[in-house]
Amino acid sequence: MNDSKERIALEIRQKLTKLALYQPAEGILFSGGLDSAILACINPAMKAITITLESHGPDIEYARNISRSRGIPHYHREINVEEALNAIPEVIKILGSFDPALPNDLAVYFGIKYAKELGLQSIMTGDGADEIFAGYSYMETIDNLEGYIKRLAPYINFSSNTIGRHFGITIHQPFLQKEFFNFALSIDPRLKIKKVNNKPCGKWILRHAFSDILPDNIAWQAKRPLEVGSGMTKLRTIIELKVSDKEFAEKSRIYKIKFFNKEHLYYYEIFRREIGPIPCPQENETECPGCSAGIIKGKTHCRICGWAEAIL
């Protein structure tokens, strides 16, 4: 097992290094998390872009530390609350969705927008690493992790692609390149989640593969969701306060949509105003239980409202 572990770690490093160097980008969306830190350290010439909502996001300290220690050119854009709220209609129009994952998408939107302002034409992201290397905490309790990841794989999709097209920015996603993606799917799940200091550690083999080029606090840091790391999660509380209990109850009956919460209703009303009615299912689609939009047969996530079916 030990020989196999080291062989796989070396192969991960060789394959990912090749992709990051031979399909280079001018910049990288840089949270200071494991995935973006690996890519930035492989190619430290890229301009690293970090977005935070005012001073609420912990990403900035991780990003500054790794960029200083590795000589990576770092660009930080601080977004204020009003600016973030004002951008919501445009992001909803770009994505054609009122999925409550919007605070994540806002961080991506401002990152790619800033790249455009800097004159960059291509951006790299760490998209996909959590999905294929089991980086999410909920994956720690899944019995058949290998089967789960393989069932999840066909549905992996990221807003960075759609937002990149909107701004005319090419998006590079090394973790999702076909050869590397398929290789990662074949790795024994026991190497993806291992115990470190008696606690489950996701993406273990990926961390191990690059542990000698990353500071320990970067290589072995806990997973931070993008909305948390950027501070965009603060918007959820602000938006919830914009909708009263009475309004939520009344509009839930009127719209006949299964809203997750007041924030979801807030996004829907912007969608309704900016885009219009929810599209009906087409011939090759089934009806979403949440909003009645069309979902391509075989998929388990509604791209319009964010409804998702568990595929454990």
Question: Which tokens sit at 210?
Answer: 């690059």
d(Cα 200, Cα 204) in Å, to the nearest integer?
9
Question: In this predicted model, what pLDDT tens digit does every residue of 14-62 receive, in sequence order?
Answer: 999 999 998 789 999 999 999 999 999 999 999 999 999 997 789 999 9
* Separation CA 165–CA 298 (nearest Å): 26
Report the distance separating Cα 241 and Cα 174, nearest Å. Answer: 40
CA separation for the pair 235, 84 (Å, rounded): 8
The mean per-residue pLDDT over the stretch 87-105 comes to 97
How many other CB atoms are found less than 10 A from the CB of residue 153? 16
Q: What is the mean pLDDT of the chain?
A: 94
Res. 3: pLDDT tops 70? no
Domains of the chain: 2-230 (3.40.50.620)
3/304 Cα distance (integer angstroms): 46
